[in-house]
Each structure stands twice: as structure tokens, then as C-alpha cells.
Amino acid sequence: MKKLIILIVLLVAIPAHAIMFISGTTASGAAPTYIARERFEGGSSTGGGDSDNEMAWTTSAGTSEDWNYTGTILEGSESGFMGTGDTTTIYSTDFTAQSAKTFYTFMFRTTSTWSADRNMAILADSAGNILCRIQQRIDDKVRLYNTGGTDGDTAGTFAADTTYYFKMTATPGSGSNADCEFWSSTNGSSWINTVQISDGTWTADIAMLAYQTTVSSSSEYIIDDLRLDDVDIDY
């Protein structure tokens, strides 16, 4: 099983990387309550908590992220932004490791051409071992990977300069039945493009979330309203 840190090293030769990590302990918030949530409202542009006292961020490398982005806002008054430039690592310790089925949703938009192979979101264990991940594909689709198992593509395609709601689930297995799922939506409540892979070999708890761009200098990702819970999530 590959580790994120290994993945980062392998991608150094590719220009313009940006990686955001989240791992850790329980977060609190107003109702409805989630295991973790981040809306990027307030705070400093390269780390620290925001005015809603949600995720606490730390930048361990790089400078191309902006967690108070106001260029194209997906929700509220600010969004998270992963732009062009150097290798960037952002991490937080604001959710408890999950040992059962875990739901993860977020808003996503890219301002660059969709048609390229690029990692987007990763679910990992506390050591950085990748469990489930989704990737942009050269054919405008999303591919879901389940570590130790197979992978699968969405039936529908996606476009640049379009805001999507993405949902992932991850369920630890007992040797060869770990489950990963993916859905997309344009309104946060009607979910399509379902992909499910149920033959992963990982057994660890879900303890880390990551975003990653591995593309040319024209790539920009915008993210917002991250939600993690042990029950299904709609917007």
C-alpha cells in the first residue's frame, strides 16, 4: 500500500503540485453537527482556524494555497483555493479516526481544462496510506480507486468552470472487501454518476483527508463546505 509521502516524492518532477492534508481529532460546530466541517470563512490565508472555529490548518510546505479565496466563491463569502506554483502541504488534526462507513462531501470547481489525469481527493489512514481516492481523467470523467482492489470510471463527464458537489464513502474491510463509493451532483441533493468498488484490501481506520493537484502551471482548484460524518450527507 503506497503512502501519501511516497506519492509526493514521486510527483516532484511534475510541475505545479498542491497537496492539502486533514487528519485527526473531533471538531465541533452548530447544528447540524458533523464529525468535521470546513467552510473557509475568515482566518488567515495560509493556515490557522477560521472565524467559525472549524478546521485548524497548518502549512508545512509550499505557498500556493489560499483559504480565504474570493475570486470565484462556491459558498458563503470565501472558498479554499489551490493554485499554481510550488509543492504545497496543508494539514489539520480536526476529526476522530473512523472505523466504520464514513461519508465525505465537498464542493469542487476547477478553472483549468478538465481533460487531464489529476488527483483530486484522497481518503487515507493516520500514516498517510491511501485508502480511496478520486482522480480527474483525460476523457473528462472521474475515476474512483480502491487500494488493493480495482478502479472504475463515472458514466457521465465533467467540465471546467462548473461547480459540483462530490460525495465519497469509505468502509474498512476485513482483507478483501473494503468499500469505496463516489457520487456527483450539481445541486447537492440529486446524486448521479455512482461508482462503487468493493474489493479493497485495506483494513485501517479513515484518519486523513487530502486534496492534491499534480498538473501544469495552469491548474487551479476551488473547494468549499467540506463535511465528514458517519451518516449520509446532503446539502
pLDDT digits over 107-140, tens only?
999 877 776 677 788 898 988 899 999 998 888 8
Region 216-234: mean pLDDT is: 84
Q: What does the DSSP assignment read for 178-224?
A: EEEEEEEESSSSS-EEEEEEEEE-----B-EEEEEEES-TT--EEEE
What is the separation, in whole angstroms, between the first and last Cα of the chain?
33
Q: Which of 71, 79, 64, 59 has its CA nearest to residue 17?
A: 64
Mean pLDDT of 94-107: 92
The CATH architecture of the domain made up of 4-9+16-229 is Sandwich (2.60)
**Domain range annotation of the chain:** 4-9+16-229
Taking the C-alpha atoms of residue 120 and residue 182, their distance in angstroms, rounded to an integer, is 12
Question: What is the mean predicted confidence (pLDDT) over 181-200?
Answer: 96
Give bridge partners of residue 195 from the DSSP assignment.
182
- Give the model's pLDDT for residue 185: 97
DSSP per-residue letters across 104-118: EEEEEEESS-S-S-E
Q: Are 55 and 38 in contact (CB under 8 A)?
A: yes
Which residue did the predictor score with more confidence, 116 or 183? Answer: 183
Helix (H/G/I), strand (E/B), else coil: 61: strand
Are 206 and 98 in contact, with CB atoms under 8 Å apart?
A: yes
